[in-house]
């Protein structure tokens, strides 16, 4: 009986110790295993970005133009080096930003998080890091699979702009549920939750500016790159407020200005199709076609197949004219190669 009591006590102690040592990363893994796709309430991004801006004189709201003093010198240097290129990206990146705005809003996230993909990959669909992260959101294989993306010898959803942005939104939502601060979320996105948790323990603070020097240099600078990129892209450095009501308005506006997922047909195609020829045959503006199918020609050439996204009526036109579209596409490609 005594042996039984001793053994039981040991098992209880071991169980308590194991529970006490559960890490933030284990909690994240549990969260990311969830398949819940319910649209969440849109947070006020000024709460999430509370450490980015200073409070005004009254102390009851945030200035949208005044950066935290600890960020100013880094932002100034970053603007000198990259301001011109980022300014150009405002124009050529619009199709990508439009897609991300809609998807992030659908997940109840501040649309400003799209700038994370700018510093991750410069919006390059086929960006590959030294560590093996791939795509516009730079997912490692394991994280990508946890977020529901396919990564194998035949398919890599990390290079699909739509699918990878949905996956990034899920991952960012999970991280925000842990930290409640977007600057810490961005640090964790880059360096992993383990490094952020360690910095919190060592500094005794959950304020990025207090714990920043306990983070790896790359993660610390990643957050500051995001701040600088956001400041440059937004013009006055302000966060666009997306409260619950305004987030709903954003979704309604997006539905009015763009084709919503329910109005869009998707067809996996293979062959030497060309975006200009498809747009011409389906009587569609090439800008709108590119918005739905960013980087279409390069993606098709690299993978051999691609998910073509078109409004339902345009998809019918495509299917009715597939042979002619393919023939004209090949002719155009031959003409371009002969130049």
Catalytic entry in 22, 76, 120, 327: 120
Domain limits of the chain?
Answer: 45-253, 261-337
**214 near 198, Cβ under 8 Å?**
yes
* Dihedral sign (CA 136, 82, 98, 274): negative
Strands (E), the chain: 53-55, 62-67, 264-270, 305-311
Residues in the chain predicted with pLDDT less than 70, given as ranges, are 1-69, 235-263, 336-339
How does pLDDT run across 223-277, given as a tens digit for each residue? 999 988 888 887 543 333 333 344 344 444 444 444 444 468 889 999 999 998 9
* Dihedral sign (CA 256, 258, 262, 263): positive
User: Pairing state of beta strands 264-270 and 305-311?
Assistant: antiparallel
Q: Would you call 120 a catalytic residue per the annotation?
A: yes
Total residue count of the chain as it appears in this document: 339
CB burial class (10 A; 0-12, 13-18, 19+) of residue 240?
middle
DSSP 105-158: HHTT--GGGGHHHHHHHTT-TT-B-TT--BTTTTB-HHHHHHTT--BSSS-BGG
Residue 108 gets the label, from left (phi > 0), alpha (psi -120 to 50) or beta, of left
The class level of CATH for 45-253 reads mainly alpha
DSSP 183-227: HHHHHHHHH-HHHHHHHHHHHT---HHHHGGGS-HHHHHHHHHHH
Model pLDDT, residue 67: 65
How does pLDDT run across 321-336, given as a tens digit for each residue? 999 999 888 888 777 6
The span from the first CA to the last CA of the chain, in angstroms, equals 90
């Amino acid at each position: 009986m005594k042996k039984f009591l001793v053994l039981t006590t040991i098992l209880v102690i071991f169980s308590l110790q194991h529970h006490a040592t559960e890490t933030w990363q284990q909690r994240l893994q549990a969260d990311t295993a969830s398949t819940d796709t319910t649209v969440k309430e849109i947070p006020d991004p000024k709460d999430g970005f509370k450490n980015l801006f200073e409070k005004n004189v009254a102390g009851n709201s945030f200035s949208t133009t005044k950066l935290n003093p600890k960020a100013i010198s880094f932002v100034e240097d970053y603007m000198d080096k990259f301001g011109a290129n980022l300014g150009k990206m405002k124009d050529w990146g619009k199709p990508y930003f439009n897609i991300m705005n809609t998807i992030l809003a659908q997940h109840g996230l501040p649309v400003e998080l799209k700038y994370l993909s700018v510093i991750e990959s410069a919006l390059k669909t086929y960006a590959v890091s030294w560590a093996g992260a791939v795509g516009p959101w730079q997912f490692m294989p394991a994280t990508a699979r946890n977020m529901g993306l396919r990564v194998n010898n035949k398919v890599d959803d990390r290079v699909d702009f739509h699918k990878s942005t949905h996956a990034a939104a899920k991952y960012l939502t999970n991280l925000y549920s842990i930290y409640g601060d977007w600057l810490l979320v961005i640090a964790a996105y880059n360096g992993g939750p383990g490094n952020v948790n360690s910095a919190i323990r060592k500094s005794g603070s959950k304020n990025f500016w207090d714990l920043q020097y306990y983070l790896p240099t790359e993660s610390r600078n990643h957050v500051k790159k995001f701040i600088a990129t956001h400041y440059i892209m937004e013009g006055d450095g302000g966060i666009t407020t997306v409260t619950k009501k305004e987030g709903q308005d954003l979704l309604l506006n997006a539905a009015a200005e763009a084709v919503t997922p329910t109005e869009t047909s998707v067809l996996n195609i293979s062959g030497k199709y060309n975006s200009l020829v498809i747009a011409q045959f389906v009587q569609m503006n090439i800008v709108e076609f590119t918005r739905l199918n960013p980087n279409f020609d390069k993606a098709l050439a690299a993978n051999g197949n691609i998910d073509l996204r078109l409004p339902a009526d345009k998809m019918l036109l495509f299917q009715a004219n597939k042979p002619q579209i393919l023939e004209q596409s090949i002719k155009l490609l031959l003409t371009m190669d002969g130049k």
